[in-house]
Structure 1
Amino acid sequence: MFGPVMSSSVALSLRCAASGCQGIRRSIATVISGNKTSKLVRNRLKEEVDKMTSQFSGFRPGLVVLQVGDRDDSNLYISSKLRAAAEIGIDAKHVRLPNTATEDEVLRSIMSINENPSVHGLIVQLPLDSVNHIDSELITNSVSPEKDVDGLSCINAGKLSRGDLSNCFIPCTPNGCMELIRQTGVSVAGKHAVVIGRSKIVGAPMHDLLLWNHATVTTCHSKTPDLPGQVGRADILVVGAGRAEMVRGDWLKDGAVVIDCGINHVPDETKAGGKRVVGDVHYASANQRAGFITPVPGGVGPMTVAMLMENTVQSAQRFLLRR
């Protein structure tokens, strides 16, 4: 989609990787910046929204973020989504239900938004923060597949698993990971990819996305024996395990592309809050062995929000084609 966001100093590494030459490698990995790449995505989307607005008499893509309760972490994530939408020109609204909301009340809100033609994207902020029992699976599957810009419904997940990539919404974090992999200039086709984690939000769709981009994919999880051995075979490694700094640098294949989806808080007395954010990969050691690596923060996180905006604009474009 875009040219690589990296210095020209990596050209030799790319040529070496493409030709399979041995004995030449960088001592420090090239950092794949999610901040820079997400800015490119947002700039492109703003141009597309401006074009829609001029061609269709002020039309704007519409996004609703539905929240149950008032979790501080959810509020932070929602704020970043609303800021990104405003920057691009998406008409984004935040609908908050109290933590006393029942499952039926949440479903009624979703049905109302599903029927609103001015809304092209609907996401339900997870986890649901309700004092009542609410089936999250039921809630996410109640979002209209045409507006499911999180890509979490069974219909969109099923299409992705069958390789129908052009006719579904791809979950935002895996989609962002793929864009970061593209930034390296390394072709996914024919590579051995390893995914650590099998969640519905990251691991499982990441497996499908890599597979349908023609990688040979191994998914690892808590029951996988010899995890270091599996990681050592990976040309491309995507980690979404939720365990701080679990993957060590000496596990990696020399020159591997390493995408770290982890967000973990660990004690650090040097920080004002007494904690710092780290990924699922031990960055200091992995940086000495990988060819390319995403930082935490500033890697996958910004891309997740950018891909949500991408899906929303795509949904609005599909809506205009159906009119």
Structure 2
Amino acid sequence: MADAATLRSRNADFWTGAAAGWIRHADRQDEIGRPLGAPAMDQLAPRPAERILDVGCGCGGTTAELAAAVGGTGAAVGVDIAEAMVTAARQRFPTDRYPGIQFHLADIETLDVVPGAPFDAAFSRMTLMLLADPVAGCTTIRRSLRPGGRLAATVFRDGSVNPWLFAAMLGAAPYLGPLPHLPVDEEPGPFSFADPARLTRVLTVAGLTAVTITPCDVTMNAPDDADVVAEWLIEVGPAGAAYRAAPLAGQASARAGAARLLDRFREPGVGYRLPAGLWLVTAIAAAAEAPSATAGPPAIRHRHPRQDEN
């Protein structure tokens, strides 16, 4: 596996190229993609006047949801590595309409603490799995929380319970130019935390305690529009930059190719039902400095999957 500096540079380049697709589909991602973060949002249960950190805020939808929950006497602070998405978040959710909301351009892995710390809680929807150095990123989260502050996050489990991810990419790829490097082993990517034991080790070494990892199954409900759904999933996935660089005929072929492989998730006249298998992660910030890497991880507390179709 490449070293952390190489992976971090690769991440920065990827998100610079991917940002345009996420911005274009920001409203759709907020609506259809909400179930990907809903288990963590429900578990976190943000309360009025709390200060909450949103790690990997993207175009700001989850930060705005947190801001609405904590109200004008609280604060919701989003941080993301993609400059264009942070700019979009500030435009979509201005402070005059969302009191207490802030967005910062930063790499969570290289910060000492996030501006606005200490926070009562931290939330993350599908971001921890994308960190080049997840121990560094989670250590920053822990340092940014008050002692006893809580973390709730979601990440994907493995590819077998998230088949639509492969369908969108494989269907589009033959009609596009070169795709970015696809992750292998524990490199940052959607399935880097498929093994819950690794996730537990990362959180424990970062100084987080009371770690729980719960399998959670959700469904994203998309409209019955093959062209729209295919383009959305292509543009927010690894093929997004190649898709936008392709000629119009190539884009049309890529959408058609993705739609063919996504058809098994379609209910005619109803829409697409995209199943997603997640880990719901919770932890508490310890008061002491992070333990050494030789410390043994706590036992993983597995629970039965639940169905969440918010």
TM-score by length of 2: 0.32
Q: Which has the higher strand share?
A: 2
